[in-house]
Amino acid sequence: MGFVSLGCPKALVDSELILTQLRAEGYAISPSYDGADLVVVNTCGFIDSAVEESLDAIGEALAENGKVIVTGCLGAKQGVVKAAHPGVLAVTGPHDVDGVMGAVHAHLPRPHDPYTDLVPPQGIKLTPRHYAYLKISEGCNHRCSFCIIPSMRGDLVSRPVGEVMREAENLARAGVKELLVISQDTSAYGVDVKYRTGFWDGRPLKTRMTELCEALGSLGIWVRLHYVYPYPHVDEVIPLMAEGRILPYLDVPFQHASPRILKLMKRPANAENTLERIRAWRAICPEITLRSTFIAGFPGETEAEFEELLAFLDEAQLDRVGCFAYSPVEGAKANQLPGAVPEQLREERRARFMHKQAAISAARLKARVGRTLRVLVDAPGIGRSSADAPEIDGLVKFKDVKGAGAARAGDLIDVLVEKSDEHDLHGRRT
């Protein structure tokens, strides 16, 4: 069986679930098209360039192998895959392990002797051994006007809390040192099931973000929260960060600061006083690292509203920030809003935004020079502190102690920070 995995961490988790099921049923995974009887392509359909990349990958798999099953977000877009590649065997949407397995069974019967015991209890992981994504829900109840995810992935469906905790426990037992909690809206966990009480380890546990964080915090490994919105109840998890039970890190996609634009975007928690919330979080947990993403040049954004966003950056002093120039994704409601900002101006605003934030991020990093930080090692000489999520944030580059063995991936060490640059810290192991 061949497998091509494209897209975001949520798609990556879907790939892991499918690979786990394939292995559980005795299918072998082949690293080349030649060695495979069939290829599964997990696609992304978020922006036009991702659609193109996915269609190209399907074309390549068809040319190289010929038997192809397509899954993922692009599969949810009615007819797109079949129109471009009529030769694919089957198309399913995202988060559809059963659909993919049904198509696999139809075209490649299950091997006779499944060595189910060869599959490790934590499943097959595509991330390095020492960190893993933990997907707690699928879909989203919001309808942000620039986003088509709900139309592809449907409304919020929270995974049962007991199942999430068992997966987390298995990962910890298998040597994972850091869990990255992901979803479309982590703060909404459990809303769809009215925060139903589940069971973990023989104890009742509510399907709710705070209770989940408390339980994850008891596993003794790093827990990092992504895609959290600034709702009042998020304040409840900040003390857990201050107490060191989960990492003092919050990834909050604010997207803008102008109330009018946030309303046009239909953002969750758009009526909250974000700056006040940030101040309150920092008062409880001064160590907290805040990461966010923004969109510059949203339809109708005036120069004054853009400047409001720049002023917000000055006030908020966020640690890590990404910014996209608005991209009119096909099918997104925002494209119909009046006052589209010309592409050149969108790019220009993005550049102005990043220029301002670069100085803020660099200054915040510099403030860490002279401190000793706990660092999780990714590779020899390279690691990350609580402030750095893998792939998207910076690194802590360190020299090992002379005479002592080199730190290895998955080790937790202390590093004295000696200097900083725009993204990374540099220091030596103590």
Q: Which residues bind ligand SF4 (CB under 6 A)?
A: 140, 142-144, 147, 149-150, 184-185, 268
Of 70 and 329, which has the nearer Cβ to ligand SF4? Answer: 329
> H helices within 70-145, ranges in order?
80-84, 97-107
Closest contact distance (angstroms) between CB of 153 and ligand SF4 is: 8
Q: Are 261 and 298 in contact (CB under 8 A)?
A: yes
Closest contact distance (angstroms) between CB of 185 and ligand SF4 is: 5
Question: CA–CA separation, 217 vs 237, rounded Å?
Answer: 11
**What secondary structure does DSSP assign to 307-350, as a single string?**
HHHHHHHHHH--SEEEEEE----TT-GGGGSS-PPPHHHHHHHH
> H helices within 192-326, ranges in order?
209-217, 238-242, 259-265, 274-284, 303-316
Closest contact distance (angstroms) between CB of 254 and ligand SF4 is: 12
Give the tokens for residue 195: 């925060």
User: Position 303: which residue type?
Assistant: E
Question: CA–CA separation, 118 vs 20, rounded Å?
Answer: 11
Closest contact distance (angstroms) between CB of 144 and ligand SF4 is: 3
Closest contact distance (angstroms) between CB of 171 and ligand SF4 is: 25
Give the tokens for residue 221: 């490994």
Closest contact distance (angstroms) between CB of 267 and ligand SF4 is: 7
Of 177 and 267, which has the nearer Cβ to ligand SF4? Answer: 267
Of 226 and 384, which has the nearer Cβ to ligand SF4? Answer: 226
Of 138 and 319, which has the nearer Cβ to ligand SF4? Answer: 138
Closest contact distance (angstroms) between CB of 145 and ligand SF4 is: 9
Q: Which helix (H) or strand (E) holds 4?
A: strand 2-5
Question: CA–CA separation, 337 vs 344, rounded Å?
Answer: 18
Of 149 and 240, which has the nearer Cβ to ligand SF4? Answer: 149
Question: Quick one: DSSP state of residue 255?
Answer: B
Of 221 and 295, which has the nearer Cβ to ligand SF4? Answer: 295
Closest contact distance (angstroms) between CB of 331 and ligand SF4 is: 12
Q: Facing residues of 382 across strands?
A: 379, 397
User: Position 177: which residue type?
Assistant: K
Closest contact distance (angstroms) between CB of 211 and ligand SF4 is: 22
Of 103 and 334, which has the nearer Cβ to ligand SF4? Answer: 334
Of 102 and 150, which has the nearer Cβ to ligand SF4? Answer: 150
**Burial (Cβ within 10 Å: 0-12, 13-18, ≥19) of residue 220:** exposed
Q: ∠182-183-188 over CA atoms, to 5°?
A: 120
Of 262 and 365, which has the nearer Cβ to ligand SF4? Answer: 262
CA 147 to chain centre: 16
Catalogue the E-assigned strands of 184-248: 197-200, 203-206, 222-225
